[in-house]
């Protein structure tokens, strides 16, 4: 089995690091209410020369809609390396969505402040 490990921060958010193929990394909050893959800050996207591929209309909380930029990221995740379409945040917010958790086991241990994502073989 392959794992990604993280931690529970002081705001009780589960945090896991996302690593790109170029070894750049960013800490992301797990958001199981976000059904996309990743939301990464524009500065991180631009600093890592990700290719912008368009815009997408998305539904945010409380029924609010917004148009958001999309880009391609080369990601190392759970023992695999692949290209994935991501959303670009205009803030410093970085999120891992449920799409990244498909076919995995997610364990959040609030007693020990640990997070573990396991991909069974």
118 occurs within a structural domain: no
User: Average per-residue pLDDT in the chain?
Assistant: 93
42 occurs within a structural domain: yes
33 occurs within a structural domain: yes
Alpha-carbon torsion, ordered 40, 99, 10, 120, to 10 deg? -130
First to last CA, the chain: 6
Print the domain residue range for 81: 17-103
Say if residues 16 and 85 touch (Cβ distance below 8 Å): no
With bands split at pLDDT 50, 70 and 90, how would you rate the model's confidence at 65?
confident
Is the alpha carbon torsion for 31, 84, 118, 22 positive or negative? negative
56 occurs within a structural domain: yes
With bands split at pLDDT 50, 70 and 90, how would you rate the model's confidence at 60?
low
8 occurs within a structural domain: no
Quick: pLDDT tens for 81-101.
Answer: 999 999 999 999 999 999 999
115 occurs within a structural domain: no
What is the rounded distance in angstroms from the CA atom of residue 61 to the CA atom of residue 78?
Answer: 29
Q: Which residue has the higher pLDDT, 66 or 107?
A: 107
With bands split at pLDDT 50, 70 and 90, how would you rate the model's confidence at 67?
confident
89 occurs within a structural domain: yes
What is the rounded distance in angstroms from the CA atom of residue 40 to the CA atom of residue 17?
Answer: 12
Quick: pLDDT tens for 24-49.
Answer: 999 999 999 888 999 999 999 999 99
| Residue 109: how many other CB atoms lie within 10 Å | 12
35 occurs within a structural domain: yes
For the chain, the domain total comes to 1
Q: Is the per-residue pLDDT at 111 higher than 90?
A: yes
CATH number at residue 40: 2.40.70.10
Assigned token pair, 76: 């190392």
């Amino acid at each position: 089995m392959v794992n990604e490990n993280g931690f529970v921060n002081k705001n009780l958010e589960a945090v896991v690091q996302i690593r790109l193929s170029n070894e750049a990394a960013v800490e992301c909050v797990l958001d199981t209410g976000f059904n996309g893959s990743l939301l990464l800050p524009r500065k991180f996207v631009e600093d890592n020369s990700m290719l912008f591929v368009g815009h997408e209309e998305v539904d945010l909380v409380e029924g609010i809609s917004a148009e958001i930029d999309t880009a391609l990221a080369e990601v190392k995740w759970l023992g695999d390396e692949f290209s994935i379409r991501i959303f670009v945040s205009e803030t410093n917010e970085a999120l891992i969505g449920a799409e990244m958790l498909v076919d995995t086991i997610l364990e959040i241990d609030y007693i020990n402040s640990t997070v573990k994502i396991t991909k069974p073989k």
